Structure 1
């Protein structure tokens, strides 16, 4: 069985890489079997791309085995070189949509898992990581499930004015067809920054957010908003901070938390609003706004999928024209947006595993668009951040300034707690 890629799937052409550093040992045959079991569970990993005259198709249940490259680890940061290689290697026709690279050393090893952003997002990719690590030491069955199609997501939704929706889609399709196809390759100059904040600041931020009744994500949104304004100024400020939403967390009956999925919607928050308002007062309003937007987005998902089915895929050359048009217009950020994704507390192995996960990193790359965003996640009690951007969006100097100002904003909010803790310790020492 085959199906044509949707317009959105054609546009979202990029790779995701997760690296896990494992202390302990296992046999390569066990790793191959773990990859095979995870592939058998997920329909998206059993598909291959097929190119036909009228576009790209997925053909189901015919993928070859997950390819595994084995590269002996010589230096501790060899994974960075291999990650860059995998990020820049597109998934092609008739090949598995999951790849793995194993870098074994004497007492530990690095495992890279790579997939296409077309079939899953960062949260779904964590599912792959968890299940591969689980299958490395457990024989418990991984239960397959039926493919998640647009028809499943649309369900019994009926648009209130079908003719109007078809008219809008037709106008959009015709407008995009008028764009000339660029033959000039996209000059993608992506770079990345990685940093952690330490366990002390992480704990202090959690405590302050809990005391103020504000989610950590809301606090990160405000800190990023104010850092962007401080570094870029009003004229260069992207208009929106956009956060992808995980639609699998019990919100849709057709989606389970262990399924691979991409396309759950996003939360868009306008930047530069009430920048003088007290941080936590603003935080509470943003927290409530996010909750409302999640409810609205969940209700909108069937209608969005229904509308997307009316859109025609845009050829790669026209996508390049769109990007180059944005460059020429000097649009702020990545088409007036900056992404902020929060994966939450990441736990990818259990206590029964014969190995310990010492480190976890993630990397993303787009073949079509200019990326600009920050991914936040907590690992082993520490909050970490991964920034990826194109030089056309922010220079390296601006990105470093943004990182520093973003951290200053967060540290400023937890400083009272840290000072109070120091005072308590001082008083305890004096009493003793």
Structure 2
């Protein structure tokens, strides 16, 4: 069977994250495995992933107009494995920070690698990828397939329908709609004019050292939080968003912006993008908490839930994809604006929800799946990512000293957890 190959131009969001092709913009998914692993086992599983997903074996070429393309390499570039001998349960955090700041050779590919923190019976595997190629949903699909292939080398994981352009995602009735084309062109042009009219500083913020905080709720704490969220009529996403904004306000005071950005899974709005497709374009939801005096936490959560539901109902994946594809001329200015502009939001928060990944396999068990992390050079890197595995809610908080001092991050975590664990339908956790 002919191996699938890829050659396509990057979409706007992919190109923005690719940036100059040198500066790291890396995502990372960490797993703790109990069992004996071998290099051959890992290499085989990674090779099978490349056979299904051709972008995992691609490099980046740049055409005469400066447009970057994903293009399959000849011969195929194998996914590299770096081995570090395991010294402690915390070593994976140090290796994570190291990998955030280690770029990819995009011209040679691939844009993904594996770090094996090797122990005798307990190991961590860090799947590291350039964010221009892969979002959280894509990474989750890779992890699920990777674990299956580690356990069952001949398992059938299918073949990805290779995405070649916008026409594979946006229905023809939308893509060729004259009204929508005119609107997308207008918004793209308006964005260009607006960003060029705004003043821009000439120096970047010194980001300083990056850091990671990771922690879990117990099974009982997770179960109680889910129960209480349901009782007050708000989703876990909304309650964590509100608690996070409240924590920033409490710890940072006047430095807090009362604004949080939440990525929204685009596959819910564009079913043409399959769950196992490698894709890096997301929709965004921006939320703020109601600061009106006299409101308890539950009432604030209910108001935020109503706002979130209204804004989610207005999201349109196809319109967003089309608009950004007409906005390529504004990209250099947008990158400068993100690099040099003043931060206007506290944090990005993403909840991957319940991870549909088995814990038990024939030859090993998944001891822990830590929430993934991502950090890039464009603006405020502060991010909270959560996920649930083995009935435990796990959090990864990422930032840099130049944006949020580590001591403040620890205080934000403490305040956030206090709000979540004290939440009860009939009691204000403030």
- The change in CA–CA distance for 1:174 and 1:53 in structure 2 (over 3 A counts) is farther
- Could you tell me which of 296, 310, 323 is aligned with 2:326? 310
The alpha-carbon deviation at position 308 of structure 1 amounts to 0.9
Question: For the structure 1 residues 132 and 165, does the alpha-carbon distance in structure 2 shift closer, same or farther, using more than 3 Å as the test?
Answer: closer
Say which of 264, 270, 281 aligns to 2:299.
281
Aligned-partner Cα distance in 1 for 2:348–2:58: 29
Structure 1 contact 134–349 (Cα < 8 Å) conserved: no
The question of whether the paired residues in 1 share the 8 Å contact of 2:27 and 2:375 is answered with yes
Aligned length: 406
Give the 5 Å matches for 1:93-242: 93-138=107-152, 139-148=154-163, 149-155=165-171, 156-157=173-174, 158=177, 160=179, 162-163=181-182, 165-173=184-192, 187-189=206-208, 190-233=210-253, 235-242=254-261
In the alignment, which residue of structure 1 is the partner of 2:82? 69
Larger Rg: 1
Secondary structure at the aligned position of 1:136 is classed as helix
Q: How far apart are 1:163 and its partner, in Å? A: 4.2
Match of 1:375 in 2: 385
Q: Secondary structure at the match of 1:400?
A: helix
Q: Per the alignment, in what secondary structure is the counterpart of residue 267 of structure 2? A: coil
Once the two structures are TM-superposed, the CA of residue 358 in structure 1 deviates from its matched residue by 1.3
- 8 Å contact kept, 2:270–2:317: no
Closer, same or farther: CA 280–175 of 1 in aligned 2, 3 Å: closer
1:246 aligns with 2:251: no
1:49–1:179 Cα change, 3 Å: farther
User: What secondary structure, in the 3-state scheme, does the structure 2 residue paired with 1:357 have?
Assistant: strand
Stretch of structure 1 that moved more, 79-88 or 19-28: 79-88
Question: Are 2:409 and 1:399 equivalent residues in the alignment?
Answer: yes
Structure 1 residues 183 and 72, CA, compared in 2 at 3 Å: closer, same or farther? farther
Q: Distance in 2 between matches of 1:179 and 1:45?
A: 38
Match of 1:425 in 2: none
Is 1:18 aligned to 2:29, yes or no? yes
Q: Residues 77 and 301 (structure 1 numbering): CA distance in 2 closer, same or farther, change over 3 Å?
A: same
Deviation, 1:265, is 0.4
Specify the alignment match of 1:430 in structure 2. none
Deviations 1:57-114 (CA, angstroms, capped at 9, x unpaired): 2233335111112233244433233322321122221211211122222112221111
Relative to structure 2, which stretch is displaced further, 72-81 or 381-390? 72-81
State the distance in 2 between where 1:181 and 1:49 align: 30
Runs of 5+ in structure 2 lacking a partner? 1-5, 19-24
Provide the C-alpha distance between the structure 2 equivalents of 1:288 and 1:180, rounded to a whole number of angstroms. Answer: 35
**Change over 3 Å in CA distance of 1:181–1:312 after alignment to 2:** farther
Does structure 2 conserve the Cα–Cα contact (< 8 Å) formed by 1:229 and 1:272?
Answer: no
1:356 matches 2:365: yes
Q: Structure 1 residue 213: deviation in Å?
A: 3.2
Matches within 5 A, 1:23-62: 23-62=34-73
Which structure 1 residue ranges, 5 or more long, are not aligned? Answer: 327-333, 418-432
Moved more, 174-183 or 266-275: 174-183
Residues 159/395 of structure 1: CA separation in 2 closer, same or farther (3 Å cut): farther
**Structure 1 residue 390 displacement after superposition:** 3.0
1:81 to 94, 97, 101: 94
Q: Distance in 1 between matches of 2:391 and 2:146?
A: 23
C-alpha separation in 2, matches of 1:378 and 1:316: 37
Worse-matched range after superposition: 184-193 or 389-398 = 184-193
Corresponding position of 1:428: none
Question: 1:16–1:365: 8 Å Cα contact kept in structure 2?
Answer: yes
Change (3 A) 1:108 1:399: closer
Residue number in structure 1 paired with 2:394: 384
Is 1:8 matched up with 2:13?
A: yes
Structure 1 position 269, deviation (Å)? 1.3
